[in-house]
Amino acid sequence: MSETSPLEQVLRHDRLIFAGGIAAVMVLAWAYLLAGAGMDMSMADMPMDPMPWTPAYAALVFAMWLTMMIAMMVSSAAPMVLLFAALKRKQSATVSPLAEAWLFLGGYLLIWAGFSLVATLAQWQLDHAGLLSMAMAATSAGLGGGVLLLAGLYQFTPLKRACLRYCQSPVLFLSRYWRPGAAGALRMGLRHGLYCLGCCWFLMALLFVGGVMNLLWIVGITLYVGCEKLLPAGRRLSYAAGAALIGAGLIVLVHAT
């Protein structure tokens, strides 16, 4: 009876390896954010002219947004991705379950890369219009209150409910949209990313209210998204948050008049 080689023993634990890889990606993303994401925030409260939007600065802002999305969203998507990896591991026909799991995650993050590009363009336009401070927060009460109000209203829309339903139930999503092979893994990751985007994009827009690089806002939104997706009472939490955002938005808008 042949002995199992050390390499074979490691490969048998590919799900654990994949989980460690996800954790490493998250740690690196958070470390980059804590280090400032390449932005000099030391003079954020000082009255200064906006940073000129050169191609290099635009690329830096895009990298900042993409890193934030990785740090904020991968943790709540991890149960879905890990379940996908486990199911792939049980399929004897799968040549490389680990590679396909990474393709799934890559497709998911590709959707958030598209969102990061849109957010970068939005920040450019808001900056150009003089509606953002050096801390990358809304300087207009009308803009801040409007974003709060619309984000709250979005929590009650059918689109939000439909997207949240699939984000909350990995089994439901995988049973309905399962596709074989590497191309199928990528397509599933893209689809899950679209559902996640539909669920959370307005919550990410709240960063323009509190400050794009405000770590308290980043951590707060991250924790909320995780609770909304992972807790059994996520639907009720979504409605409660919507009501709170609507109230906050109305208060800001009333004070602005």
Model confidence pLDDT, tens digit, residues 216-230: 999 999 999 999 999
Instruction: State the pLDDT at residue 1.
Output: 43
Please say if the pLDDT value at position 90 is more than 80: no
51-60, 145-154, 241-250: the lowest-pLDDT one? 51-60
Q: How many CB atoms lie within 10 A of CB 167?
A: 25
How much is the pTM? Answer: 0.88
Instruction: State the pLDDT at residue 50.
Output: 64
From the list 256, 218, 230, the residue with the least C-alpha distance to 139 is: 256
Instruction: State the pLDDT at residue 232.
Output: 87
**Number of Cα atoms under 13 Å in the Cβ half of residue 96:** 8
- Burial (CB count within 10 angstroms: exposed 0-12, middle 13-18, buried 19+), residue 237: middle
Instruction: State the pLDDT at residue 49.
Output: 59
Instruction: State the pLDDT at residue 219.
Output: 95
Q: What is the mean pLDDT of residues 45-69?
A: 84
Please say if the pLDDT value at position 88 is more than 90: no
At 91, is the pLDDT very low, low, confident or very high (cuts 50, 70, 90)? confident
Which carries the bigger pLDDT value, residue 2 or residue 104? 104
Please say if the pLDDT value at position 83 is more than 80: yes
Instruction: State the pLDDT at residue 8.
Output: 47
At 135, is the pLDDT very low, low, confident or very high (cuts 50, 70, 90)? confident
Q: What is the mean pLDDT of residues 228-246?
A: 93
From the list 8, 256, 242, the residue with the least C-alpha distance to 148 is: 242
Q: What is the mean pLDDT of residues 161-190?
A: 93
DSSP for 102-162?
A: HHHHHHHHHHHHHHHHHHHHHHHHHHHTT-B-TTS-B--HHHHHHHHHHHHHHTTSHHHHH
3-12, 75-84, 172-181: the lowest-pLDDT one? 3-12
84-93, 102-111, 164-173: the lowest-pLDDT one? 84-93
Q: What is the mean pLDDT of residues 103-116?
A: 96
Q: What is the mean pLDDT of residues 83-94?
A: 76
Please say if the pLDDT value at position 109 is more than 80: yes
Q: What is the pLDDT of residues 149-159, one digit of tens each?
A: 999 999 999 99
Q: What is the mean pLDDT of residues 23-37?
A: 91
